[in-house]
Amino acid sequence: MKPNPWEWGVTSFGSSCRPQIQFADQKQEFNKRPSKIGRRSLSRSISQSSTDSYSSAASYTDSSDDETSPRDKQQKNSKGNGDFCIKNIKQADFGRREIEIAEQEMPALMALRKRAQGEKPLAGAKVVGCTHITAQTAVLMETLSALGAQCRWAACNIYSTQNEVAAALAEGGFSVFAWKGESEDDFWWCIDRCVNVEGWQPNMILDDGGDLTHWIYKKYPNMFKKIKGIVEEIRECSGKLSVPAMNVNDSVTKQKFDNLYCCRESILDGLKRTTDVMFGGKQVVVCGYGEVGKGCCAALKAMGSIVYVTEIDPICALQACMDGFRLVKLNEVIRQVDIVITCTGNKNVVVRENLDRMKNGCIVCNMGHSNTEIDVASLRTPELTWERVRSQVDHVIWPDGKRIVLLAEVHTHTHTHCALALIELYNAPEGRYKQDVYLLPKKMDEYVASLHLPTFDAHLTELSDEQAKYLGLNKNGPFKPNYYRYVKNKVGHQPSPSKPRVHPGFSRQPGL
């Protein structure tokens, strides 16, 4: 009999390393409301828009003339519920169509919803979330609801929210507090409205970036007494965790599927939609040759671009060379390239000195997990002019007339992994997970991959009893040992039922 995927777990772990989430200094005065839209001074958001890889290039609401703050509006859905704060509830029908389209491109999550909704593995779960509010996230939220969870949600980025999708969620009964173009004050106000509600205590956190976790820790620390775990795309960790956390960003299928194959398609899609650029003959430098960088380089090379790669890791660098790419330092090619793409997850990869030396019309965009890679703050100086060209596209103009094209970040999110990680942490028996950061159990990682296979009419070969015994494996997996990593130096460890093992590295990895 095949095991229930949400019953997979472990019995013993090593816990000698206790990584913690590290946050930037953040404001906590959220009652003052500025009259103008401000800029959020956080690592997750820069002074440009950000979106998931399959989000619409131009939001339905971009041309809206309504400048009234959603905080000043009294809105209710068709059932009379007003426990939300969004731009315009009247856009719900349009948002619903976007969600339905997204469902067609998320077969694994839809398969999980179909398989598990009868058992309600999240019955009783009260999930407070802070992620990008897009059609893809809406599919995740509705899946969690179908599996029994109650959800309250805010946006992790002030620019990426699809207002029409937020309206559809609110119309569907979800407590959503998000709109595109929030000020920093609005951002923290929305998070507080998610958390601080009479008669509702969250017991699970789903957090993209750590801002929600930080807010609860600073303002409502007693809530952690009832919170069973955190599911998060964790980047930098330090300090002490009071509950278990599962790092879904570094799961194997996220790295090998989303980061490689999805980014291979989304880089072309994102650039085409926002700039209408032709790739043939263009000189492109891709910073970082991890999974995201590999996908970007493969797509650009196939379109006829001349691709250069920058790397700090000699192993990734050797891979780039063996794949036929020229390994360079950024300053060696910065004057001649037409496109600069960052894929490192690091900070200050492209700095003002690089930006000053770029040619007229150079396109600069970020594909990495956090948008600190391009030093956009250095461009906010009096001598430079910013011109909004279209949604998610800015021209930055120098005094001599030179301009660069600055794009929003494009990346993918681990929606199926998030759902399974929530199920795992919520249903784990007492003591299974300590106050550490964990990777998704490899058995569950393989389950995520298996959910995608029916889409391709793919048929897995099964081991015979003799073959399984020869390899020392269970016929149903997992098929790789816990120490086997597709990427290195990731945040979190993957526990084993037979031998405790702490993941060997917690430092930032050079390429995503």
Q: What is the pLDDT along the chain (512 residues), one digit of tens a residue?
A: 444 444 443 322 232 233 333 444 444 444 444 444 333 333 333 333 333 333 333 344 444 446 789 999 899 999 999 999 999 999 999 999 999 998 988 888 898 999 888 899 999 999 999 998 999 899 999 999 999 999 999 998 887 799 999 999 999 999 999 998 898 899 999 999 999 999 899 999 999 878 899 899 899 999 999 999 999 765 444 456 788 988 877 666 666 666 666 777 778 877 887 788 899 999 999 999 988 899 899 999 999 999 999 999 999 899 999 999 999 999 999 999 999 999 887 889 999 999 999 999 999 998 865 567 899 889 999 999 999 887 678 899 999 999 999 986 555 555 787 888 899 899 988 888 888 888 777 777 788 778 878 877 888 888 899 988 888 888 888 887 766 654 444 444 444 333 322 222 222 333 33
CATH of the domain at 282: 3.40.50.720
Long-range contacts of 76-84 (CB under 8 A, 24+ apart): 77/170, 77/171, 77/173, 78/171, 79/173, 81/173, 83/175, 83/197, 84/166, 84/169, 84/170, 84/174, 84/175, 84/176, 84/177
- The helix (run of H) or strand (run of E) holding residue 93 is helix 92-104
Q: What is residue 185's DSSP assignment?
A: H
Asked if the structure places residue 24 within a domain, the reply is no
Instruction: Tell whether 311 is in a known binding site.
Output: yes
pTM of the model: 0.69
Q: What local confidence, expressed as pLDDT, does residue 84 receive?
A: 97
CB atoms closer than 10 angstroms to residue 196: 13
Task: Tell whether 294 is in a known binding site.
Answer: yes
293 is in an annotated binding site: yes
* 292 annotated binding-site participant: yes
Same domain for 217 and 155: yes
As a whole number of angstroms, the distance between CA 131 and CA 208 comes to 5
Same-domain check for residues 397 and 311: yes
Burial of residue 280 (CB within 10 Å: 0-12, 13-18, 19+) is exposed
Q: Which of 407, 436, 457 is the last residue of a domain?
A: 407
pLDDT of 410 reads 53
The domain tally of the chain equals 2
Angle in degrees, CA 78, 82, 85, rounded to 5: 115
Among residues 316, 340, 322, which one has the least CA distance to residue 330? 340
Which three-class secondary structure state does DSSP give residue 145?
helix
- Do 86 and 221 lie in one domain? The reply is yes
Q: What SS3 string covers 324-343?
A: CCEECCHHHHCCCCCEEEEC
Is residue 499 one of the residues assigned to a domain? no
Whether 431 has a binding-site annotation, put simply, is: no
- Can you tell me the distance from the alpha carbon of 493 to that of 133, in angstroms, rounded to the nearest whole number? 29
Asked if residue 497 belongs to a domain, the reply is: no
Structural contact between residues 101 and 135, judged by C-beta atoms closer than 8 angstroms: yes
Residue 495 and residue 10 in contact, taking contact as beta carbons nearer than 8 Å: yes
Angle between helices 291-302 and 263-275 (to 10 degrees): 60
Q: Is residue 27 part of a domain?
A: no
Rounded Cα distance between 53 and 55, Å, is 6
- 285 domain-assigned: yes
One domain, residues 266 and 225:
no
**Angle between the N-to-C axes of helices 184-195 and 211-219, in degrees from 0 to 180, rounded to the nearest 10:** 70
| Six token digits for residue 129 | 């979330």
Closest CA to 99 of 49, 172, 159, 160: 172
Residues 211 and 235 in one domain: yes
Residue 132 near residue 156 (C-beta atoms within 8 A): yes
Q: Is 67 annotated as a binding residue?
A: no
Query: If you ran DSSP here, which 8-state letter would residue 89 be given?
Result: G
d(CA 473, CA 227): 36
Q: Which of 392, 426, 448 is the last residue of a domain?
A: 448
Shared domain check, 320 and 186: no
Residues 6+ positions from 350 with CB-CB distance below 8 Å: 287, 330, 340, 342, 364, 373, 374, 375
What pLDDT is stored for residue 152 in this prediction? 97
Residues 397 and 298 in one domain: yes
Q: What stretch of H or E contains 217?
A: helix 211-219
Instruction: Please tell me whether residues 264 and 403 are part of one structural domain.
Output: yes
Rounded to whole angstroms, the Cα distance separating 187 from 42 reads: 11
133 and 279 fall within a common domain: no
Which candidate, 504, 420, 449, 432, places its Cα nearest to that of 147?
420
Domain match, 122 and 246 both? yes
Select from 128, 116, 174 the least CA-distant residue to 423.
116
Asked if residue 197 and residue 328 are part of one domain, the reply reads no
3-state secondary structure of 236: coil
Q: What is the pLDDT of residue 409?
A: 56
SS3 200: strand
Annotated binding-site residue? 345: no
Residue with tokens 């909704």: 117
Residue 49: predicted pLDDT: 35
Q: How far is CA 5 from the centre of its chain?
A: 23
CATH number for 102: 3.40.50.1480
DSSP 8-state code for residue 224: G
The verdict on whether residue 79 carries a ligand-binding annotation is no
Report helix angle 135-146 to 107-116, nearest 10. 10
Which pair of tokens denotes residue 121?
A: 């593995």
Nearest to 193 by CA among 170, 172, 159: 170
Annotation-wise, does 134 bind a ligand?
yes
Considering only CA atoms, which of 374, 35, 395, 38 is closest in space to residue 181?
Answer: 38
Distance of alpha carbon 169 from its chain centroid, rounded? Answer: 19
Are the beta carbons of 172 and 142 closer than 8 angstroms? Answer: yes
Asked, for residue 512, whether it belongs to a domain, the answer is: no
Domain limits for position 332: 259-407
Spatial CB neighbours of 115, under 8 Å, sequence gap ≥ 6: none
Residue 500: inside a domain: no
Residue 39 lies in a domain: no
Write out the two tokens for 254: 């996220």
Q: Give the DSSP per-residue string, 395-458.
A: EEE-TTS-EEEEE-EEE---HHHHHHHHHHHHHPPTTSS-SSEEEPPHHHHHHHHHHHGGGGT-
How far apart (Å, rounded) are the C-alpha atoms in residues 407 and 271?
8
Model pLDDT, residue 256:
67
Mark whether 242 and 385 lie in a shared domain.
Answer: no
